[in-house]
Chains A and B, each alone.
Chain A
Amino acid sequence: MATEAQGESTGLEFHPMEQFIVKPLFGDGPVQWYTPTNVTLWMGIILLAIIALFVMGTRGRAIVPNRVQSIAELGYGMVHKMVGDVVGKDGLKYFPYIMCLFLFIVFANMLGLLPKAFTVTSHIAVTAVLALAVFISVTVIGFVKNGTHFLGLFWVTSAPLVLRPVLAVIEVISYFVRPVSHSIRLAGNMMAGHAVIKVFAGFAALALVSPVSILAVTAMYGLEVLVAFIQAYVFTILTCVYLKDALHPGH
């Protein structure tokens, strides 16, 4: 399509989206639901990295931790404090789930930044499943814990009576937009960053602009490391906020 036309006319080749293709690991067959693909490979790597940090690293159970163990404890402490601060004491029951989400996203983002890596969180299918899982479980928790009182989330009693129906419509819409923005934010950030790096890298084929291009790639890479962490943090903290809304709907 567009990129190919450009490639023919200028000699530059831009394939910013090629890095996101899901390919089978063995052979060239169609991608069935069970086929081991590069998604499988990188999810396995993510899983192994997390296990290496959190199971192998804490094997010593040392009172005075070594480096790896203190990193694991740092991550544990950060998410634990976040859940405690944002959701409250009764939210700590859901801490393992939130911790898993945070770890999976942060490792996927960071490992995806390795050259030649495949970023699983850049796919809307993955982030949509994560966001929908959060959305559905939070809604179920809200109804189980609070019953119909949970609907008070949409009926703003502090507003004047005339405005309440209007606000209720807005609140309902914003509630159902949550999983959409929740998933697209993460996937879009990851996709955008990687695509921009790829485009800058494509310019390196021209000798004249290649130093600028390499500098730009370096700068974007630094920014992407920051974004990779912040997006994982934001995903987690928004999960905490939604959970707080479900547990304490009375604002």
Chain B
Amino acid sequence: MISLLQEAANTAAEHSEDVAGRAVDAAAQGADAAAHGAEAAAAQGAEAASSGMPQLDFSTFPNQIFWLVVTMLILYWVMSRIALPRIASVLSDRQGAITGDLMAAEEFKQKAKDAEAAYDAALAEARSEAQKIVAANKAEIQKVLDAAIADADAEIAARTVESEKRIGQIRDSAQADAQTVAKDVTAELVRIFGGNADQAQIDGAVDSRLKGVRQ
């Protein structure tokens, strides 16, 4: 392929030489025409070079490579010395700022949490205090109440004892009355039926009978 290309380049060169030769002929006809001819020759020469692919025109390769190398060297120098470190520092600064802000936010959040905990603790303390007061009051009232109940109980007990004593007295007197009545009635009955009974015998009989009843 390269040999073919060289052949093509050679033919192109011959062609432009021809054109140049014609331009020289034209030069003989006058200065104006010569200038004109030279321009035309140059234009035609460019045309001849362009008839193939400009990419394979090896005569322009050193030029392109030279300017490419120059451009790349400048670009690399600018990028590696100025632009890239600058962007890297900006990005890391931003990262740092974001991290710092996040940490500050975390700190504030922690503070808020602490405040909430303190509030909760105070609330719980107040509540327990109130409960303590309530319990103390309740105990005092209970004590008073207990004392009153005990007093009342004692009074009731005293009165019950007294009442029982009186009931017992009444019962005893009633029993004695009933015995007296029974003895009197028995003695009268014995006297009416004509018996002559000893007062002591009658008492004994009545007592023994009454004992059986009472039991």
Q: How far is the CA of A144 from the CA of B97 in the complex (A)?
A: 40
Is there a chain A Cβ closer than 8 Å to B133's Cβ?
no
Is there a chain B Cβ closer than 8 Å to A21's Cβ?
yes
Interface size class on chain B is 35 or more
Q: A31-B59, A47-B71 are in contact. Are A61 and B50 (CB under 8 A)?
A: no
Is there a chain B Cβ closer than 8 Å to A37's Cβ?
yes
In this complex, what residue of A is CB-closest to B58?
A125
- For residue B124, give the distance in angstroms from its CB to the closest CB of chain A: 45
Q: A62-B90, A96-B84 are in contact. Are A22 and B78 (CB under 8 A)?
A: no
Among B60-68, B103-111, B150-158, B172-180, which stretch is in contact with chain A? B60-68
Interface size class on chain A is 35 or more
Q: Are B87 and A76 in contact (CB under 8 A)?
A: yes
**Residue of A20, A96, A103 with most chain B CB atoms under a 10 A cut-off:** A96
Which of B39, B78, B88, B94 contacts A55, CB < 8 Å?
B78
Is there a chain A Cβ closer than 8 Å to B200's Cβ?
no
In the assembled complex, 24 residue pairs joining A and B whose CB atoms fall closer than 8 Å, in A order, are A17-B54, A20-B53, A21-B46, A21-B50, A21-B57, A33-B66, A39-B68, A40-B67, A50-B75, A50-B78, A50-B79, A51-B83, A61-B89, A63-B90, A63-B94, A72-B87, A73-B91, A76-B87, A100-B72, A104-B75, A120-B68, A125-B55, A126-B68, A129-B68
A residues contacting B by CB (< 8 A) are 1, 4, 15, 17-18, 20-23, 28, 30-35, 37, 39-40, 43-44, 46-47, 50-51, 54-55, 58, 61-63, 65, 69, 72-73, 76-77, 95-97, 99-100, 103-104, 120, 122-126, 129-130, 187, 191
B residues contacting A by CB (< 8 A) are 39, 42-43, 46, 49-57, 59-72, 74-76, 78-80, 82-84, 86-91, 93-94, 97
